[in-house]
């Protein structure tokens, strides 16, 4: 099955999840996140507002004792992160993003929560197919660099293997409602 077919199949499965299950799974994942040493040590993190059945970490904004930046999709197709100052606005593809605030450079983040459609046990990820996060964190393709990338998923979204493409940026950690996955070998040691 092609990556696009796998993506479509998983998007359809995820979009049928009851809202109550998504809330429960998101709460479980956030509890696991708060126990990670990488999260406890982080001061500046990136989160996102979940859509269509995604694990939703938006509850962290204003409640976790950290500065939390949210993604903004720019008109040129690039992704930036912003410390929201004011209301949220509708963004492309049904997303919610800050209307304004202070821009944060990706390299200044200590930890970034990354949405995904599929992940594998090696930390490879298939996103929604636009490459926003891969471009935002492309500096990691040449070696270890901040931030720590944590993929958030439902347990059924983790598969044994995904064939990565040259531009795909691996995750350091994958958190699901079933537990914590730390890919081996650690990023930068392969």
Tens digit of pLDDT for each residue in 41-96?
Answer: 999 999 999 889 999 999 888 778 899 999 998 888 888 999 988 887 877 777 77
E-only strand ranges, the chain: 44-46, 67-73, 79-84, 88-90, 96-98, 101-104, 111-114, 118-120, 125-126, 148-153, 158-159, 173-176, 179-181
How far apart CA 149 and CA 85 sit, in angstroms, is: 24
Question: Is 60 exceeded by the pLDDT of residue 39?
Answer: yes
Tell me the pTM.
0.91
Say yes or no to pLDDT of 190 above 50.
no
Mean pLDDT of 122-147: 85
Say if CB 175 and CB 140 are below 8 A apart. no
Q: Is 11 helix (H, G, I), strand (E, B) or coil?
A: helix
More confident residue, 3 or 35: 35
Pairing of strands 88-90, 125-126: unpaired
The CATH code that applies to domain 3-179 is 3.40.50.10420
Give the integer Cα–Cα distance in Å for 147 and 123: 15
Mean pLDDT of the region 128-139: 84
Average pLDDT over residues 165-179: 92
Segment 168-184 mean pLDDT: 93
Q: Is the pLDDT of residue 189 over 60?
A: no
């Amino acid at each position: 099955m092609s990556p696009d077919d796998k993506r479509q199949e998983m998007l359809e499965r995820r979009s049928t999840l009851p809202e109550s299950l998504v809330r429960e799974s998101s709460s479980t994942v956030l509890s696991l996140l708060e126990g990670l040493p990488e999260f406890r040590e982080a001061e500046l993190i990136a989160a996102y507002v979940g859509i269509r059945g995604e694990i939703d970490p938006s509850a962290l904004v204003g409640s976790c004792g950290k500065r939390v930046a949210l993604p903004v999709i720019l008109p040129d197709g690039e992704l930036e992160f912003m410390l929201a100052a004011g209301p949220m606005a509708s963004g492309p593809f049904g997303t919610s993003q800050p209307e304004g605030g202070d821009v944060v450079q990706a390299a200044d983040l200590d930890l970034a929560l990354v949405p995904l459609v599929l992940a594998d046990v090696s930390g490879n990820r298939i996103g929604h197919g636009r490459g926003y996060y891969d471009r935002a964190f492309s500096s990691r393709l040449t070696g270890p660099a901040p931030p720590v990338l944590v993929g958030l998923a439902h347990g059924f979204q983790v598969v044994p293997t995904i064939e990565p493409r040259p531009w795909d940026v691996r995750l350091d950690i994958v958190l699901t409602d079933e537990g914590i996955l730390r890919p081996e070998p650690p990023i930068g040691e392969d």
